[in-house]
Amino acid sequence: MWRKTLVAMALTALCAGCTTMSAEDRRAADEAKCRSYGFLKKNDAFAECLQRIDLDRRAELRSTPDFDPWNRPVIYRPIIVRPQPK
């Protein structure tokens, strides 16, 4: 009985550490990383650094085996065409 409790507590603690990063937090972390490389904010080199980090993140996502580029919601918007009066 105590083993089940211990396993449940361990899983709860493990899952509590798993948090998703908001877009603002990710941007702040990326900017901090570029500044740590010595790039100054508001210039082309800094923008390139941010772009490369983003491209690396996207490439890493595409390299996962379960990545499916077609797994997106399909948005259907009907177009109503009314006959023109003559």
Is 53 a domain residue?
yes
Residue ranges of E strands in 1-86: none
Domain that holds residue 37: 21-63
Is 56 a domain residue?
yes
Tens of pLDDT along the chain (86 residues) come to 666 665 566 666 565 555 688 989 999 999 999 999 999 998 999 999 999 999 999 999 888 888 787 777 778 888 888 888 87
Is 29 a domain residue?
yes
CA torsion sign for 29, 50, 24, 32 is positive
Is 10 a domain residue?
no
What total of structural domains would you count in the chain?
Answer: 1
Is 12 a domain residue?
no
